[in-house]
């Protein structure tokens, strides 16, 4: 799920911002923290040593989350919703780690999360000249290919040891800058502590992206290497104290994607085409899954993580659609664009990138539906496609491969394909039925691509045949196909491998067209827009989010909602007051059982003005002393428009306090060893 | 379902058109047929006698469809999809009239359709002066109340015999005209002949609103009175001949609703608010229902009609959303508005109704979500609300009642409430769970209306309690409550009656606010806009559709789709060529069994340029001789934008030919008595 949903966000290349950052706005790179501005506003700003230590403590989780080291023994703080897929994968009908939570009493009981990898930035190198040099005056698909080849080369040269390091070139400012991020990576990550789902997600989907909140959305992982906990050089001091209204806070993490300088044509495409479509089809999937899960307790358990992902994405997309349909909000964006255009007017070197983007978006309108629907949603299909493509791509020179299959990217892909984790056939079939029927609906029953995808079968019949016949759920089968390469793939009679082979040529052809008519032109125009931006606003700007490490500063503060003050901090007692006894406002069992022990005045969740977005989940919230006082787990409803622009008056980050986690570790889900470790004793 | 879905369309008061009608455009009232224009374009136009006879043969079905008498014995031609709810209601697990079709070999076997009523217009009287006089200079809710009181009075005075006549005042041109329609009504309507669902709806949802088509979407009903077939004075001659490309065709029926002179603010509201919301929530309902129906063959059968209704509505709404997101389409509408504004400029009597509409729409934005979600979707809830409200309303003087409860409207409501028909508890529960959870999602968990609707229960818990505890599925219970009036309602302990009582005050309060701030201002502005329109374009305009009788002229013609000619007529052999053997492209059993007998060259479906919209389903397609050559059952995909504007080049009506129906009556679903009756022998 997560992969697909992030994919739809990353289709859109990031662009630079329209106007200089204002009041707490900004997801800053660590090499460009605006210390002077912060000092002016707050009377204080961190120094380089502070920044370096915090940066070295920050962890990226490849599942799509952020985190931080909080002990010298590789202990990692993140959100519960960042480990729920792991807990789900480790669960059985007998032992439900999602519903009941998980506490490893000893390190030996800590359990490996399938597919999970933790990464820490160790170096950032500017490679803009190299990549721009390789692009030269190329255009369209040729530009994309030259750029990707150079990136593959730089990444390979940068990380000789792919077992412990990972190199990734990041496009910033939509092509204005390229930077090589080098990571120390830990591919053995284990689950240490997780509360009950009902404690972590109290209020469920209705409360998601809302506030006040009463959610214990926190968990602990641990990084391992060679079977042992890793010793880390830097970690954040654990400070389970109450957040103070008005105090400065930093959020350090990996915001996934923002689109704050999309041109008006790109925004119009989202408003008029992609968001309405995706909100409809995801809503239908949500409905299909909700009904299917009602059939048995087992299905309810097995589908839980997928349902959460769908509902979360849907809420994000609905928030975006509403922001783009809000005339006042859109006017600010349009004014920003007009101001930048005015400043760039007459600069021949910049030309008219807005017009180039408009043309590219026009071309993309024609390509969007087939491109959107060529890839059916199914974990098993993902395996099949990865195996089929890896067999082809690995036979090519590094620089000629598709981006996900270069030498620097292959180790993570291999881990994701080969790690053992449960597959639920009913869920695979449901997702396939849905994606195939939505593809037919969008393209039409008589479309050539529909015929390629369905032949003479129905979505239901085809899905049943593929899921019923494949053996790809078995990791040993996947391993044999991965290692067997092209010969093994060609010889395979697995129906899903055959199906992935059947779609592959069309999929590649669509990518080629998208690169030629959309991504290539966007990359060229993006570089021009970045030039215009730098010329107009200098270094007062930050790049759009790219799921790379950023730091945001702000403060603990509520806001005014329809004239009413929203207090910034809730207490654990509030959860008891809010509980109705009906799902999803049922108290977790351990809360009920331990009510007498719980200090109800303990701060629970709180809000800050920090500027974050999806991908920041699990980010440590750090105080001036560099200690962690919470983990960001959500934004308020106004933060959803933050994809396009930050609204200082109302955009808020929602945080679970370390004070509440400490209370839970001591009295609700007791973990004395963890308490000791966090206290540094 | 149908009631709810029509309701969302009728929330919007109709407005007059923006510009004079062009080329085959127009849903004309019978008292204003543009004979001169047609004669100019076609060299021929019908005379008054032709019009009178056709009008007297046209039938409205209160379920939301059109139809026509085709024999002197009250035989009615309509679409299969207009009788599918009846077939569903008459089915059991043992006898599935939807899947297997239905043929009454003798009249005694014809079966009464629950809730169905057939109506024929007998008179149209202009009552504009009366209604406008009652409105005077009133505004807001007072305007609405005065208007509705006058309408109730006129209707009551017009139809003394409510057992055989029905009076209905219709608002035309958004308040520019008011006309009293008098109907001869037949409240005993019986099913005579229906093909298999798979023949009627071959191609299913993927083919719906598409063309070429191969669907036998036709059925026959018969009107009864006093237990006997009615003798009707007028009927259409049955002409099972091939339609000729280019020949003139008339569609005579009841288009439900168009919004062709909505102002730009009204369109923006639909584009930005109501359509995205409704497309999302209906998509989720579709998904919930699809999964739930997969649980058993019985549920698949029971949910079929509801699923069809949802998917059909969804396709309509998606088409509207896409039309309003098409810049070229919207520009035409905006240009029309600008032209009308220019013509009205300086006319003090007209003033600025566009500004008044903008203000009303602004107010409606604030009211929309609570108003949209106060009424949970459930047949059982509909019964409960009707019973609770009827008890209150019937105690009031006629002119003070809510519109649906006046003396002229009560007989149909009573029939709908008391007629026996099956209720499927699982389906009721599913719809309730969905509507309650969507209400909470839209309003927020802490909203006062959410609390009123849910209390401390979950949507699932509340739905289970209400459906599990109610006895309203029993028509005897409903009858006792209807007849018992307020005392019986007050004494009832039925949980759904209690729930309807619980919501009623809020529901009425919302209606009051909507009348005061939205409907009242719209009605006043609508009258001004009508004046502007009449002043600018005289009688070259037709009113927006209002589910009252209209006539459209056009011709048999294909169109160009992306440069390719689409041929206007398909053949029955085409169905065999298109069948894949996989749902929904499976041939009906009787088609397979009788393949050798079927003349594959028989014309099957065809397209015409007639201007129609939902509600026209089942309309006779009449030739110059006044004979019926088909039944309109669909529009092509371009017809969906027809809600806002007719596009002569591409907007097409899709028709099942009488030739195909004749073939079916003779060789596929043999009904020799019917063949004889239709032949007039």
Which pLDDT value is given to residue A20? Answer: 62
Residues 6+ apart with CB under 8 A from A297: none
Whether the model clears a pTM of 0.90, i.e. scores above it, the answer is yes
Q: Is B531 exposed, middle or buried (0-12, 13-18, 19+ CB in 10 A)?
A: buried
User: Where is A297: in which H helix or E strand?
Assistant: helix A297-324
Q: How far apart are CA B631 and CA B658, in angstroms?
A: 7
Which tokens is A481 given? 């196909």
Interchain proximity A292–B291, CB inside 8 Å: yes
Q: How far apart are CA A557 and CA A648, in angstroms?
A: 11
Q: Tokens 């827009």 — which residue? A: A529
Residue with token string 């093909």: B195
Q: What is the pLDDT of residues B104-128, one digit of tens each?
A: 999 999 999 999 999 999 999 999 9
**Smallest Cα distance from B104 to chain A, Å:** 34
β-strand partners of A190: A112, A222
Q: A210 vs chain B: nearest CA distance in angstroms?
A: 9
Separation between Cα atoms, residue B280 and residue B285, nearest integer Å: 9
Q: In degrees, to the nearest 5, what angle opens at C-alpha B339 toward C-alphas B335 and B343? A: 170
Residues of chain A contacting residue B203, judged by C-beta atoms under 8 Å apart:
445
B271-274: long-range contacts, CB 8 A cutoff, minimum separation 24: B271/A325, B271/B321, B271/B324, B271/B325, B272/A325, B273/A325, B273/B365, B273/B368, B274/B8, B274/B368, B274/B372
**DSSP classification of residue A28:** B
- Residue of chain B whose alpha carbon sits nearest to that of A281: B283
* Residues pairing with B620 in the sheet: B631
Contacts of B580 in chain A (CB under 8 A): 456-457
Chain A residues near any Cβ of chain B (below 8 Å): 203, 205-207, 210, 271-273, 276, 279-281, 283-292, 294-295, 318, 321, 325, 430, 434, 440-441, 444-445, 454, 456-458, 460-461, 580-585
Q: What is the DSSP letter of B497?
A: H
Q: How many angstroms separate the Cα of A654 from the Cα of each of A212, A555, A619?
A: 9, 12, 11
Distance between alpha carbon A665 and the CA centroid of its chain, in Å? 27
Residue with tokens 């790690």: A419
Q: Which long-range contacts (CB under 8 A, 24 or more apart) does A412-418 make?
A: A412/A62, A412/A117, A412/A166, A412/A187, A413/A386, A414/A482, A415/A115, A415/A117, A415/A187, A416/A115, A416/A386, A417/A383, A417/A386, A417/A387, A417/A390, A417/A478, A417/A482, A418/A475, A418/A478, A418/A479, A418/A482
Question: Which residue on chain A is closest to B269 by alpha carbon?
Answer: A325
Residue B531, both tokens: 């004046």
Residues of chain B neighbouring A206 (CB-CB closer than 8 A)? 440-441, 444-445
pLDDT in tens, B618-653: 999 999 999 999 999 999 999 999 999 999 999 999
Position A539 scores a pLDDT of: 80
CA neighbor of B377 nearest in space, from B439, B308, B432? B432
Q: What's the mean pLDDT in B10-34?
A: 67
In chain B, residues with a C-beta closer than 8 Å to the C-beta of A587 are: none
Place of tokens 């990380």: A159
DSSP-based helix, strand, coil % in chain A, nearest 5: 50, 15, 35
Which of B276, B284, B581 lies at the smallest CB-CB distance from A276? B276
Residues of B in contact with A325 (CB under 8 A): 271-273, 276
**Nearest CA-CA distance, residue B292 and chain A, Å:** 6
List the single residue in A279, A430, A581 with the smallest CB-CB distance to B456: A581
By C-alpha distance, the chain B residue nearest A430 is B291
Contacts for A121 with CB less than 8 Å, ≥ 6 apart: A30, A55, A58, A60, A181, A182, A183, A548, A549
The ipTM (two decimal places) reads: 0.94
Contacts of B516 (CB under 8 A, 6+ apart): B140, B141, B144
Q: Count chain A–chain B contacts defined by CB atoms under 8 A.
A: 115
Per-residue pLDDT averaged across B41-69, rounded?
97
Closest B-chain CA to A268: B325
Cβ–Cβ of B288/A285 closer than 8 Å?
Answer: no
Token pair of B53, please?
A: 């006879």
Question: What are the φ/ψ torsions at residue A549 (nearest 5 degrees)?
Answer: -65, 130
Could you give the angle at the alpha carbon of A98 between the alpha carbons of A97 and A99, nearest 5°? Answer: 95
Instruction: Determine which of B275, B291, B320 to mutate to test the interface with A (most A C-beta atoms within 10 Å).
Output: B291
Tell me the average pLDDT of chain B: 95
CA distance readout (Å), A41 to A212, A433, A528, A627, B231: 27, 54, 32, 21, 88
Q: How far is A425 from chain B (nearest CA, A)?
A: 15
pLDDT, one tens digit per residue, over B513-561 is: 999 999 999 999 999 999 999 999 988 899 999 999 999 999 999 999 9
Cα separations in angstroms, B447 against A558, A650, B441: 20, 19, 10
Contact B276 A580 (CB under 8 A): no
Helical H segments across A58-127, by residue range? 84-89, 97-100
Distance from the Cα of A495 to chain B's closest Cα (Å) equals 19
B interface test, pick of A287, A320, A439, A636 with most B CB neighbours within 10 Å: A287
Distances (CA, A) of B371 to B10, B181, B442, B507: 14, 30, 11, 8
Q: Smallest CA–CA separation between A391 and chain B, in Å?
A: 33
Chain-centroid distance of CA B136 in Å reads: 32
| A91 close to A299: Cβ distance less than 8 angstroms | no
Q: Which domains does chain A have, with CATH numbers?
A: 2-117+187-259+544-679 (2.40.10.120)
**Which residue in the set A291, A456, A582 is minimally distant from B456, CB to CB?**
A582
Q: What is the pLDDT of residue B19?
A: 60
Q: How confident is the model at residue B4 (pLDDT cuts 50, 70, 90)?
A: very low
For residue B8, is pLDDT > 80?
A: no
B206 interaction partners in chain A (CB closer than 8 Å): 440-441, 444-445
Q: Could you tell me which of B621, B10, B577, B508 has the C-alpha nearest to residue B259? A: B10
Look at B206 and A321 and tell me if their CB atoms are within 8 Å. Answer: no
Asked if residue A584 has a cis previous peptide bond (ω within 30° of 0), the answer is yes
Residues of chain A short of pLDDT 50, as ranges, are: 1-18
The answer to whether the CB atoms of A291 and B290 lie below 8 A apart is: yes
| Interior angle at CA B502, CA A578 and CA B435, nearest 5 | 70
What's the whole-number mean pLDDT along residues B496-504?
A: 98
Helical (H) or strand (E) element with B522: helix B520-537
Are the C-beta atoms of residues B167 and B155 closer than 8 Å to each other? yes
* Among the listed residues B54, B29, B14, the one whose alpha carbon sits nearest the alpha carbon of residue B126: B29
* Interchain contact, B461 vs A584, CB within 8 Å: no
Residue A512 in 3-state DSSP?
Answer: helix
Chain centre distance of CA A111: 23
Cis geometry, peptide bond prior to residue B584 (ω within 30 degrees of 0): yes
The bridge status of strand B75-78 relative to strand B102-103 is: unpaired
Q: At what angle do helices B410-418 and B379-393 cross, to 10 degrees?
A: 140
Whether A287 sits inside 8 A of B458 (CB atoms) is no
Task: From chain B, pick out residues whose CB is under 8 angstroms from the CB of A208.
Answer: none
Q: Tell me which residue has tokens 């209020």.
A: A203
Q: Name beta bridge partners: B61.
A: B65, B118
- Rounded CA gap, B249 and B628, in Å? 10
Which residues of chain B neighbour A321 with C-beta distances below 8 Å? 276
Please answer whether residues B187 and B221 qualify as being in contact, where contact means their C-beta atoms are separated by less than 8 angstroms.
no
Provide, as residue numbers in chain A, all residues whose Cβ is less than 8 Å from the Cβ of B583: 458, 460-461
Classified as helix, coil or strand, A104 is: coil
Name the residue among A398, A353, A411, A378 with its Cα closest to residue A148: A398
Q: Are B273 and A325 a contacting pair, CB within 8 Å?
A: yes
Residue of B nearest to A445 (CA): B206
In Å, how far is A278's CA from the nearest CA of chain B? 9
- End-to-end, the C-alpha distance of chain A in Å comes to 40
Q: What is the DSSP letter of A108?
A: G
**Which residues in chain A are contacts of B440 at CB distance < 8 A?**
206
Other beta carbons within 10 angstroms of residue B169's beta carbon come to 22
Residues of chain B contacting A, Cβ within 8 Å: 203, 205-207, 210, 271-273, 276, 279-281, 283-292, 294-295, 318, 321, 325, 430, 434, 440-441, 444-445, 454, 456-458, 460-461, 580-585
Structure tokens, B231:
């003798």
CA distance B378 to B500: 12
A190 and A116 in contact (C-beta within 8 Å)? Answer: no
B61-66 mean pLDDT: 95
pLDDT (mean) for B481-485: 98
Work out the burial of residue A87: count CB atoms within 10 Å of its CB; fewer than 13 is exposed, 13-18 middle, 19 or more buried: buried
């Amino acid at each position: 799920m997560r992969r697909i949903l992030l994919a739809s966000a990353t289709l859109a290349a990031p662009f630079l911002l329209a106007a200089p950052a204002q009041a707490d706005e900004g997801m800053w790179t660590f090499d460009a923290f605006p210390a002077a501005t912060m000092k002016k506003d707050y009377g204080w700003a961190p120094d380089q040593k502070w920044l370096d230590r915090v940066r070295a403590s920050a962890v990226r989780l490849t599942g799509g989350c952020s985190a931080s080291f909080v002990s010298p023994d590789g202990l990692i703080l993140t959100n519960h919703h960042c480990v729920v897929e792991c807990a789900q994968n480790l669960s059985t009908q007998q032992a439900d780690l999602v519903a009941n939570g998980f506490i490893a009493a000893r390190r030996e009981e800590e359990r490996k999360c399938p597919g999970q990898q933790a990464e820490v930035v160790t170096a950032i190198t500017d490679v803009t000249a190299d990549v721009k040099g390789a692009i030269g005056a190329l255009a369209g698909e040729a530009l994309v290919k030259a750029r990707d080849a150079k990136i593959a080369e730089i990444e390979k040269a940068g990380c000789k040891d792919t077992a412990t390091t990972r190199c990734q070139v990041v496009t910033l400012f939509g092509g204005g800058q390229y930077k090589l991020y080098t990571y120390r990576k830990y591919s053995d990550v284990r689950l240490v502590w997780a509360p009950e789902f009902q404690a972590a997600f109290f209020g469920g989907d209705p409360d998601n992206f809302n506030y006040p909140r009463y959610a214990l959305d926190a968990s602990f992982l641990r990084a391992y290497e060679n079977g042992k906990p890793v010793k880390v050089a830097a970690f954040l001091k654990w400070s389970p104290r109450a957040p103070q209204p008005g105090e400065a806070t930093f959020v350090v993490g990996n915001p996934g994607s923002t689109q704050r300088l999309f041109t008006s044509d790109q925004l119009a495409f989202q408003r008029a085409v992609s968001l309405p479509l995706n909100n409809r089809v995801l809503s239908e999937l949500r409905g299909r899954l909700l009904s299917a899960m009602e059939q048995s307790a087992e299905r309810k358990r097995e589908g839980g993580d997928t349902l959460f992902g769908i509902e979360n994405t849907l809420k994000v997309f609905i928030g975006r659609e509403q922001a783009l349909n809000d005339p006042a909000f859109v006017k600010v964006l349009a004014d920003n664009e007009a101001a930048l255009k005015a400043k760039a007017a007459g600069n021949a070197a910049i030309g008219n990138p807005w017009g180039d983007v408009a043309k590219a978006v026009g071309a993309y309108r024609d390509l969007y539906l087939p491109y959107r629907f060529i890839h059916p949603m199914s974990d098993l299909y993902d395996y099949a496609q990865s195996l089929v493509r890896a067999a082809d791509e690995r036979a090519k020179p590094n620089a000629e491969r598709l981006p996900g299959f270069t030498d620097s990217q292959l180790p993570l892909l291999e881990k994701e394909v080969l790690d053992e984790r449960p597959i639920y056939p009913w869920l695979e079939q449901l997702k396939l039925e849905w994606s195939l029927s939505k593809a037919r609906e969008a393209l039409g029953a008589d479309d050539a691509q529909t015929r390629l995808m369905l032949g003479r079968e129905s979505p239901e019949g085809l899905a049943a045949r593929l899921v019923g016949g494949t053996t790809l759920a078995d990791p040993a089968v996947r391993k044999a196909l991965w290692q067997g390469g092209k010969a093994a793939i060609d010889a395979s009679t697995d129906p899903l491998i055959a199906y992935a082979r059947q779609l592959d040529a069309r999929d590649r052809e669509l990518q080629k067209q998208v690169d030629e008519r959309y991504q290539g032109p966007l990359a060229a125009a993006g570089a021009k827009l970045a030039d215009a931006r730098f010329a107009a606003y200098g270094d007062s700007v930050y790049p759009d989010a790219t799921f790379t490490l950023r730091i945001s500063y702000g403060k603990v503060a509520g806001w005014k909602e329809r004239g009413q003050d929203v207090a910034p901090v809730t207490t654990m007692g509030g959860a008891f007051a809010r509980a109705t006894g009906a799902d999803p406002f049922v108290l977790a069992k351990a809360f009920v059982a331990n009510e007498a022990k719980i200090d109800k005045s303990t701060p629970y969740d709180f809000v800050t003005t920090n500027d974050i977005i999806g991908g920041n989940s699990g980010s440590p919230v750090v105080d001036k002393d560099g200690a962690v006082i919470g983990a960001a787990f959500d934004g308020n409803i106004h933060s959803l428009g933050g994809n396009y622009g930050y609204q200082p008056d109302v955009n808020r980050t929602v945080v679970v306090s370390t004070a509440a986690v400490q209370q839970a570790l001591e009295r609700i889900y007791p973990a004395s060893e963890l308490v000791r470790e966090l206290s540094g004793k």
